[in-house]
Chains A and B, each alone.
Chain A
């Protein structure tokens, strides 16, 4: 199997390739360095980036292959993914986006691609190499195997402190009403639901912590906790876009999170939830 990382010669796409490399290393995947030609990107910069990644890959003993597309063609891209036995596509996300035109990462999360997609927002290049703590925020006990495996991979490869941050959304009124006993019960229920991941983690000798929080605003809570815990990377579960995505409030939250995060962030779009 292989992993595709999208390169356009920018610093952040190079940083994303580094995350992809780490992922490939653990799972023994091949890394495809894919560039889709367009007017904006300089081929020289792209090739320069590819060279940098290849040098790193060589040192990490990861096999790489270069691939260039003449332009973005949905069908061609889908076929490439289908025939290429692709596990995950890594793509970077920029700070500035057009209001009316989808960015590349937005385009691919709309496609029916039979692979997982990791859209990475790199805000701090110095955090790419060195990650001491990784955070996986989830809503209560909503955790998919795919999300967990990406989280575990990243945490293991960086040898970083791993934490699952279970957030229970509540209202001020509910927060004021709930007593200690109810809180204990609720948290115990979440822990019980997540217990099979604990067993898996024990098998893989991957230690992680679970923390709980009540919050009125999920995004604020994640950012606050991430900064406080000095996390170097946040992995966040997201849903693939559809026609109805315009009504998907979580999509707006993820976009806001991507815009305001002071920490590098991976929005993970699993194929299973397509």
Chain B
């Protein structure tokens, strides 16, 4: 037998207490035994440790070693600029670490939000006296004294109650006040037991006395908190990818460093020279600006998303959005407007009337079927309905229950002013009665108006208003017809309310049936288009709603949401996780009558299928599912603080189409990162090749390490950031989602970056360097130039060879597939600014002495820069041809399929 089904005396004896509460000395023991009535909070994260951790990442360690070696080199061979180089490398490490730390700074505050819901001072009875204690001192066996407005401190079983209603939305998402009694009423679970009250919930009205049976972490609320706390967040794709890219490039850098260090030793260059040479190659291989650029790209994307009403809490989530394959969305407020609208009336005299205008503020009219135009009948009917409301619609604000607001809005369309009607007595709505009545003076006559569930009202009616407007007794046939009309509305996803009246008498029986009002939460107009977008983008959408299956299906049909099956919460509860995963593999399922805690099961089943899941939610109970989903999406308007804290993304307008917009941005970010990784890798090649050539051939050093840093952290950074802010490409939502296992740095990126664009840039740099030297009288074999100024000029030419190519590379790489001109030359303002910055930077390297000193560059006359001209053009044209060939190939594959 469940404990809540036991007689209260047995519960008292089990918990060694009584109606008078426990003994005070017993309380102390119980605190020691069961602990304080608090939730275990997450251990605080040390931000300092998190920041220091950034300096232990692969790239960072590599650069730190490089900086150290430079300092050592400067100690043994001073005056060669190695000290400046080491400071520059340290600067690069600090920039990297600071930006990366920023990502992790967003701490998870879900537990704190949960703690905020717990009360502080509560009334309990101990040794027969009612006292006020700190909620953390509550123990099992304490007697809780509950009053209106109280936040309940622990789980308890009621033994006294008077019209007690509590709000248990924090546990089950159900916003309707839940009546509490002294009997459990056939409950299967504690949450269903009517004689239980729960920690973290609030007393809406009435009063009660309960014996505490669980405290702290052991309460139902504590368990949810524990679920939220103990969900392990999976590694986001971008984290994995950054790790992978870092590893690949580090391995390449170290291998190259080791090989050339060994070769250096063998070629009798000496230990120090060989070390410096290896160090230069390592620095050349590390794309210093890449990690901060990725962070910046993600950060800019999150700002763009915020402008589209999707607030991203965790930067990593931006890219995960691009991989989303399934959206599990709530219905109310997300797919629909969460504004109930009376859309149709059925009068007992047989008229069907449609009502135009949606929401509470839009004006509208009544559309009658031919020959049925009788506004007075409609007005009378809506007056009976509207008398039974307390809702208010004023200029720009509404007060009251959404269903009542819908009736008030409809009555306004019929120019009825409810406030002018004198109400004499009210018989309130209760969940047991499922109806309410108001005895009022309407047009000088005293009338009892009733409104409620169709089956209840019809049962109380003995007559109806016929076609002639006269009262006529209901025969079985007519009763059945009315019931069928109600059912037909329900099947079309309407919420149906029956309206009846009675003249001069307040008794709620022998009523005259007046008709039905059909109310609906209308779909958001933009949802259809968003769903179509999802479909073409290969994203499945599944609706999860607390509504009944009929309503869920009707809404799905209305918004053209594809589905194969409808499941109820009970079915989800019964089915195993494996079976659910199997079902979800191929089929789109609508989940109806769902409670929030079943969402977690769906999220896990989908994830087991390898899906990347975006899940929406608003209640406290949604928090575990939001945390578990790859992208937890909380509702900004209707969501609880806990849901918002647990989510990765908050929808500022609660709108489904904002999720789709965010996914579009996520995909854009993925391709943008791909573009600038390719862009950055391309400039690595002209940084590496000069060293390799200098090693094998008798030529002077074409590029210094500090010049490499000037490219990576100077000329490449701004265009790279600009690439991160590129707008979505035109086919972005017509492609399949970015696969969970698709890599940013795939063979295509390597091929384009290193072996295609990079080689052209390396050729440009070396041709510029050698031809400049030859034009100034250099002969092959002269490794040490007599004129250092000439050497600096030649190195500047190498630098400019790479930079000039990168300047056009950035324009052609803007689109991964389409021609550069199709994107629009002025569409990315940041890129135009980056070009100006880059131009200024080059000018400084060529003409400004302090910059020349630091970066070892020199002035090169404009007349000698012509050598550089053909290569950027060659790079641009050949990359456009490459993309054209790729487009043809893709089109061919598609047509073959």
Contacts and interface: CB of A to CB of B under 8 A. Distances in A.
A95 B216 CA distance: 11
B643 to A, nearest CB: 18
B226 A224 contact: yes
Contacts of A60: none
A168 interface: no
A217 B243 CA distance: 21
Interface in A88-105: 92, 94-96
Interface string A206-237: 00000000011100110110011000000000
B33 A94 contact: yes
Contact of A125 (B15, B231, B234, B240): B15
B240 A260 contact: no
A195 interface: no
Contact of B217 (A12, A94, A123, A220): A123
Nearest to A97: B32
A11 B30 contact: yes
A172 B214 contact: no
B34 A95 contact: yes
A124 B223 CA distance: 11
Given A223-B226, A224-B226, A125 B33 contact: no
Contacts of B219: 262
A166 interface: no
A64 interface: no
A125 B213 contact: yes
A176 B216 CA distance: 36
Given A173-B243, A260-B40, A96 B31 contact: yes
Interface residues of B, number: 39
Given A224-B231, A260-B40, A123 B34 contact: yes
A245 interface: no
A126 interface: yes
Contacts of A215: 232
A122 B218 CA distance: 10
Contacts of A11: 15-16, 30, 33-34, 140-141
A102 to B, nearest CB: 15
B33 A260 contact: no
A96 B35 contact: yes
B235 interface: yes
A228 B600 contact: yes
A251 interface: no
Contact of A224 (B1, B217, B230, B234): B230
B223 A262 contact: yes
Contacts of B235: 172, 175-176
Interface in A230-274: 259-263
Nearest to B2: A130
Contact of A217 (B2, B29, B232): B232
Nearest to A124: B218
B697 interface: no
A130 B34 contact: no
A124 B213 CA distance: 8
B621 to A, nearest CB: 12
A175 B236 CA distance: 12
Contacts of A176: 235, 240, 243
B14 interface: yes
Contacts of B532: none
A263 B32 CA distance: 17
Nearest to B244: A176
B222 interface: yes
B227 interface: yes
A94 B231 contact: no
Contacts of A217: 232
B29 A10 contact: yes
B3 interface: yes
A129 interface: yes
Given A130-B1, A130-B2, A260-B226, A125 B140 contact: yes
Nearest to B5: A130
A164 B1 CA distance: 26
Nearest to A129: B3
Interface string A123-141: 1111001100000000000
Given A173-B243, A224-B231, A126 B226 contact: no
Interface centre among A129, A224, A263 (most CB of B within 10 A): A224
Contacts of B222: 262
B4 to A, nearest CB: 8
Interface of B: 1-4, 14-16, 29-36, 40, 140-141, 190, 213-214, 216-219, 222-223, 226-227, 229-232, 234-235, 240, 243, 600, 624
Nearest to B600: A228
19 contacts: A10-B29, A95-B33, A95-B35, A96-B31, A96-B35, A124-B213, A124-B214, A125-B213, A130-B1, A224-B227, A224-B232, A227-B227, A228-B624, A260-B217, A262-B218, A262-B219, A262-B222, A262-B223, A263-B218
A61 B243 CA distance: 63
B33 A12 contact: yes
A96 B32 contact: yes
A130 B222 CA distance: 19
Contacts of A10: 29-30, 33
Contacts of B240: 176
Given A10-B30, A11-B33, A262-B219, 13 more contacts: A11-B34, A95-B34, A96-B35, A126-B213, A129-B3, A130-B1, A176-B235, A176-B240, A221-B232, A223-B230, A227-B223, A227-B227, A227-B230
B41 to A, nearest CB: 10
A262 B4 CA distance: 19
Contact of A126 (B3, B35, B624): B3
A188 B33 CA distance: 42
User: Interface centre among A94, A173, A228, A260, by most B CB within 10 Å?
Assistant: A228
Closest 6 pairs between A and B when the two form their complex, measured CB to CB: A95-B35, A224-B230, A124-B218, A126-B3, A220-B230, A123-B218
A172 B232 CA distance: 11
B226 A227 contact: yes
A220 B232 contact: yes
A90 B234 CA distance: 39
B331 to A, nearest CB: 25
Nearest to A52: B13
Find the residue from B190, B214, B232 having the highest chain A CB count within 10 A: B232
A50 to B, nearest CB: 14
Contacts of A259: 35, 40
Nearest to A215: B232
B141 to A, nearest CB: 8
Contacts of B14: 125
Interface in A173-194: 173, 175-176
B13 to A, nearest CB: 8
Contacts of B34: 11-12, 95, 122-123
B568 to A, nearest CB: 19
A228 B217 contact: no
A221 B243 CA distance: 25
Contacts of B33: 10-12, 92, 94-96
A262 B600 contact: no
A10 B29 CA distance: 8
Nearest to B139: A11
Nearest to B578: A211
B815 to A, nearest CB: 30
Contacts of B35: 95-96, 123, 259
Given A11-B15, A262-B222, A221 B230 contact: yes
A107 B507 CA distance: 73
Contact of B32 (A94, A220, A228): A94
B102 to A, nearest CB: 20
Contacts of B29: 10
Residue of B29, B32, B35, B213 contacting most chain A CB atoms (<10 Å) = B29
A147 B827 CA distance: 68
A14 B16 CA distance: 11
A209 B47 CA distance: 42
A222 to B, nearest CB: 9
Nearest to A40: B29
Contacts of B31: 95-96
